[in-house]
Each structure stands twice: as C-alpha cells, then as structure tokens.
Amino acid sequence: MGPDERFAADTERFRRELLAHCYRLVGSAHDAEDLVQETYLRAWRSYAGFEGRSSIRSWLYKIATNVCLTALDSRQSRVLPSGLAGPYDGPDRPPIPSAPGELSWLEPLPDSWIAPPADDPAAVVVERESVRLALIASLQLLPPRQRAVLILREVLAFPATDTAEILGTTTAAVKSALQRARSTLDEVETDELLEPTDQRARALLDGYITAFERSDTNLLEQVLRADATLEATPFRDWQSGRTRCIHLLEAHVFGAPGDWQLIPTTANAQPAAAVYHRGRASGIVALTATATGISRVVEFQDPALVAAFGFPPAIEKQQPIAHPPT
C-alpha cells in the first residue's frame, strides 16, 4: 500500500464527523465543506511527519480546529434574525431584508452530509443534539476560541489536556474558557424536541406543508404552538406568537393555493422541507417540532441551499417529487 492509500485508509473514516465539527464552528455548511477540504490537504502534506504521538483522530481535529479558527479571524459570525434583536412588534408591513453583505446568515446543514453509522446509536444521539439550530445559533455568539473549547470538551468529550494541546494553550485556560462559554449558553432552548423520525414530528411537518401549499391559515393554526416564532433570512424582522406569525404569512407571503410547493427532508436533525415558489427553488425551511406542536419556524431563503440538499432548481408546479437518496 502506497502513502496515499495509507493516508486515505487512516483518515477518510473521520470526514463526516470533521464536517460536523467545522459546521458547529462556522455555522455554514458550504464553508464547512471547504474547510474540511483544507484540513485534508494540510493533513496529507504533513502525513509523512506524523509520528503517532496522538491518535489520528486527535491529530485531524487539531488541524481542522485551527483551520476553522484561522478562517473565523477574517469572517463575520453567522446569525439568525432572532440573534439580532427582539421580535418585531411594530405596525403591519412587509419584513425588511438586510442590505447585501451587511450580515452573514447561519445556514442549515443537510442531515445526509453527516449521518453517522446506523449501528452506532450513541453517535447518532450526539450528532443530532449537537447540530440543532438553536445550539448552532447560540455557539456563533461565543468568541471563536471559547466556541472551540466548548465543542471539543462538551460535544466531542476531549479531555482538558487534549483540548489544550489542540488549541496550543494551557489546561487552566481551557477550564476558564469553558466556564465562560457555559455561562453564555445558559439560555439555549430547552424544549424536549421530537426526532425527525418520530411519527408526531412527521405529522407536524406534513400539516405545515399542507397548510402552506393551500395558503390555509386554519390548518397552520393547528400545527403551530401559541408561542411559536417565525424568522427568515435575509430578513431582520422576526415574529413571536402564533397570531403574529400567521398574520405575516397571510398578509405578505401566501399567494394563491398552489403557488408554493414544499418537499419533505431533514436539516440539523429537525423536520424540514425544500421550498419552491411557482416551481422555482426558494430555500429551506426547518421546523422545531415538540410534543405540543411546532415551536419555531426558520426559513433560509437561498436557492443554492435547495441544491445542497439534493433537490433540483425547478420542478413542475404541483408535480410530486421523490425525496433524494440519503
């Protein structure tokens, strides 16, 4: 076996988890994919000098973490509208988009990109819980190195000594950064969420899709919780409370029945759908499904995301389409 084959045999099995790691750090599926490519390029270049002083996995995580931290030095943190200010409570008007380039928006992550082996239930649970949108959005509020410490220690369970070695710092500094990060994230959403495979979650997704496609506010009222929130990038405004959410959709989004088509998928371990407007890709909508209804709706208006989830850029109006293979 040549050196390239040995490198692939030693490292390829970690690619999916490294992609999830980079996504947690940078909040963008596309950026994470590029950073994993850079990680593997750097690892390949230095593979001959790897002397086994740590595991291959730790070595790759060190490279990936530092690649991400370098990238974050020159990039804005990615946000959701709810991370900018409180919900909009002014007079009725269409939501206002941010100026081009003004903000960097959080992106959803296709579950198929990082799905761990089905025969490893523990890995499945960790992966799902650690890419929920609420957590990813909250992580972006932390300084990058605090973010890295929290992910390495709390999500990946690296010991403090290993985390310090990865980040080129001291164990005391790691413990201090972890304490500060935990304090900042005390307000992360604590609702017990339904798994996308739960029949109740699928029923809520189906109900939301039907309501949206029919422009039916009565159906929408049945699936949204009274305290539901609604936000969409690239718009700064977001809504809190079922009544305000439904009013915004009815007044400024819904058109004639059939104008919108939604195709079920999953994103960030949540029920989701690819969204089409009059047959053309519009974006991805992710739902936070709980036992008492949908508590949060986040739409990412970016046609390129639809392609990332494996769907075509356009479909025939009202023509059903199969879910892409995962």
pLDDT per residue over 73-82, tens digit each?
988 899 999 9
Write down the pLDDT at residue 66: 97
- Domain ranges, residue 139: 3-187
As a whole number, the mean pLDDT across the chain is 91
Band of residue 124 on the pLDDT scale cut at 50, 70, 90: low
Residue 194 lies in a domain: no
Q: State phi, psi for 203 to the nearest 5 degrees.
A: -65, -40
Write down the pLDDT at residue 204: 98
Q: What is the pTM of this model?
A: 0.91
Residues 9 and 152 grouped into a single domain? yes
Residue 289 lies in a domain: yes
CB atoms within 10 A of CB 16: 17
Write down the pLDDT at residue 322: 47
Residue 57 lies in a domain: yes
Q: How far apart are CA 222 and CA 210, in angstroms?
A: 11
Q: How far apart are CA 22 and CA 268, in angstroms?
A: 14
Band of residue 184 on the pLDDT scale cut at 50, 70, 90: confident
Write down the pLDDT at residue 188: 66
Residue 118: pLDDT over 70: no
Residues 123 and 214 grouped into a single domain? no
**Interacting residues of 44 by C-beta distance below 8 A, sequence separation 6+:** 4, 7
Residue 55 lies in a domain: yes
Residues 77 and 221 grouped into a single domain? no
Most confident of 53-62, 111-120, 121-130, 256-265: 256-265
Residue 108: pLDDT over 80: yes
User: Of the candidates 232, 224, 199, which has an alpha carbon nearest to the alpha carbon of residue 295?
Assistant: 224
Write down the pLDDT at residue 2: 80
Residue 326 lies in a domain: no
Residue 322 lies in a domain: no
Q: What is the 3-state secondary structure (H, E, C) of the chain?
A: CCHHHHHHHHHHHHHHHHHHHHHHHHCCHHHHHHHHHHHHHHHHHHHHHCCCCCCHHHHHHHHHHHHHHHHHCCCCCEECHHHCCCCCCCCCCCCCECCCCCCEECCCCEHHHHCCCCCCHHHHHHHHHCCCHHHHHHHCCCCHHHHHHHHHHHHCCCCHHHHHHHHCCCHHHHHHHHHHHHHHHHHCCCCCECCCCCHHHHHHHHHHHHHHHHCCHHHHHHHEEEEEEEEEECECCEEECHHHHHHHHHHHCCCCCCCEEEEEEEECCEEEEEEEECCEEEEEEEEEEECCEEEEEEEECCHHHHHHCCCCCECCCCCCCCCCCC
Residue 319 lies in a domain: no
Band of residue 49 on the pLDDT scale cut at 50, 70, 90: confident
Average pLDDT of the segment spanning 72-98: 93
Write down the pLDDT at residue 101: 87
Average pLDDT of the segment spanning 27-43: 97
Write down the pLDDT at residue 187: 66
CB atoms within 10 A of CB 270: 25
Write down the pLDDT at residue 326: 41
Which structure tokens are listed for 182? Answer: 């935990």
Residue 237: pLDDT over 60: yes
Q: What's 121's domain CATH number?
A: 1.20.140.160
Q: Pick the residue with more confidence: 240 or 6?
A: 240
Q: Pick the residue with more confidence: 227 or 50?
A: 227
Q: Are strands 78-79 and 104-105 parallel, antiparallel or unpaired?
A: parallel
Burial of 298 (0-12, 13-18, 19+ CB in 10 A): buried
Write down the pLDDT at residue 223: 98
Write down the pLDDT at residue 116: 65
Phi-psi region at 41: left, alpha or beta (left = phi > 0; alpha = psi -120 to 50):
alpha
Residue 323: pLDDT over 60: no
Which structure tokens are listed for 133? Answer: 């949108």
% pLDDT > 70, the chain: 92
Give the CB-side neighbour count of residue 49, counting CA atoms within 13 A.
Answer: 4
Residues 174 and 204 grouped into a single domain? no
Residues 209 and 156 grouped into a single domain? no
Q: What's 298's domain CATH number?
A: 3.10.450.50
Residues 20 and 133 grouped into a single domain? yes
Average pLDDT of the segment spanning 53-68: 93
Q: How far apart are CA 6 and CA 85, in angstroms?
A: 50
Residues 99 and 123 grouped into a single domain? yes
Residue 282: pLDDT over 80: yes
